[in-house]
Structure 1
Amino acid sequence: MKDFWETHHWPQGEQRVHWHLLFDDQVAVHAFARAHAELIGRYSELTPVPTEWLHATIQSIGPLTPAQTDAIAAAARPVLRDLAPFDLEIGPAQAIHNGIVTALYPEEELADVFWALRRATEGILGAELLPPAPARFWPHMSLAYSNARWDADDLARALVRLRPARARMRVTRVALVEQQQLWRDKYTWSPIAEVLLGQGLQSGAELTVVPQSGGHRP
């Protein structure tokens, strides 16, 4: 396994805006992550993701001005209003080249959210300011990052044997966040906005903007 942090080193103090799927209030997802904690704790080469900072990155963006983040949040409202909320399944976990990640299903609905947000964000910033678009969106949630170069074959086999029950949740919203990197430790963020799915299919508010405070989210 490779060292995740060798290729994910942000300049000191830099903040980058991301579209995330968050799991703040998802008890089943937290329980699924905790079911792997004892195994992850056996390996000093792994840096676990704290439960309160579990997330699935939908789109990395980069450093932005407040005006740009406001425009991107507003642009996301119409592209998500006709995408219906959907059920998500989390798991199983697997060892990859730089850590432990969990699969997220169904991939098709998550890909629809990705491409909708990608187009909305490109419309504000231009495609050249975003990371290259993938040929296929790969949805996943990280449980741990590798902090060394090492042979993780035993870990991969242990994950196959562990296999706790998959977690399930309802995806109803996405979050625009300003994210910080705590070097070789974790990622934290401050919320900027939440955009609800399917608001064109029902009445109600479409966009909730969260005042930026510069601190951690609750």
Structure 2
Amino acid sequence: MTSSGPFPKLLPDSTSDTDAIARNDWNAYAEIDFLRDHWSVKQWAPGHTGYYWYLTFDSPELIELAAECQNALTQDELDNVPLDALHLTLAGIGSTTTVTDEQIDNLVSLARSRLTDVKPFDLTIGPLSGSRSAVRFSVSPWDPLLDLHRILRASTSESMPSLSAPTGSGGSRFRPHLGIAYNNTDRAAAELIEAVAALRDTGPATVRVNHVELVVLRRDGHSYRWDTRAAIPLGGTTVLDGALWADPAGSE
């Protein structure tokens, strides 16, 4: 199986049903014969940084779930995602060498105005599954994530028409997931798939999504790290001293 194209290739029968999403993820993962080295497949030039739209998480419930699964997967061929770096990638934007500060400021302003109509929502994280080069949780429902992806890509394209396309996949290729480990060598898949299968009854966790982040992403050894350029609240929430609080004037 090649590493090109979205994974899973097929969309789930329902983008709102947790069981359908988890089943689709697992059926695709269970059919993999060969795993790829993530760090070779995902090329990243030394010193490169790029802008991305992220959801980030510091939920104690999610951190506990991720740690439990990471501790059970003891293979040397896995590089764990640091527990303070759990994230869900919504869309890429472009390299920091080609995107200007003015473009980013315009993008943040546009996205902020459009995200006022998007209400905070909950996500179910789990069960555990994987891809051709990573171990990751299924995430559901997809519907609010697909809406965010569409809004952010449209805002990015409108703010940066000089770019041929934002970095990353289009809506038809977007597969929401949350990774907890990256495979660091090419190898047969059966052993890892068996280990992941034994953990599928662990969890799930529920997290609240009330903002999105525009980050400057870098690769630090065998992990991804970032600095937040802007945190944009959803709906009637406001950023205050790094925290998010509900704005009574915007509440229902």
TM range (shorter): 0.7 to 0.9
**Amino acid aligned to 1:27:** P
1:214 corresponds to: none
**Amino acid aligned to 1:13:** G
Distance 1:67 1:208, change over 3 A: farther
Q: How much identity, in percent, do the aligned residues show?
A: 30
1:188 corresponds to: 225
Q: 1:170 aligns with which of 204, 208, 211?
A: 208
1:150-203 deviation line (CA, Å, top 9, x unaligned): 1121221221222311010111000000011124x101001110111113xxxx
Q: TM-score, normalised by structure 2?
A: 0.75
Deviates more, 1:65-74 or 1:14-23: 65-74
Instruction: State the 1:129 CA deviation.
Output: 3.5
1:15-43 deviation line (CA, Å, top 9, x unaligned): 101000000x3111101100112222x21
Matches within 5 A, 1:98-137: 98-126=133-161, 128-131=164-167, 132-137=169-174
Instruction: State the 1:209 CA deviation.
Output: 10
2:55 corresponds to: 21
**Whole-angstrom CA distance in 2 between matches of 1:208 and 1:119:** 27
**Whole-angstrom CA distance in 2 between matches of 1:51 and 1:142:** 11
Instruction: State the 1:9 CA deviation.
Output: 2.2
Instruction: State the 1:84 CA deviation.
Output: 1.0
1:9 corresponds to: 43
Runs of 5+ in structure 1 lacking a partner?
A: 211-218
User: Does the CA-based 8 Å contact 1:4-1:98 persist in structure 2?
Assistant: yes
**Whole-angstrom CA distance in 2 between matches of 1:61 and 1:9:** 16
**Whole-angstrom CA distance in 2 between matches of 1:92 and 1:155:** 15
Instruction: State the 1:99 CA deviation.
Output: 1.1
User: Does the CA-based 8 Å contact 1:81-1:197 persist in structure 2?
Assistant: yes
1:73-107 deviation line (CA, Å, top 9, x unaligned): 11101221111111110011113211101111110
User: Does the CA-based 8 Å contact 2:62-2:125 persist in structure 1?
Assistant: yes
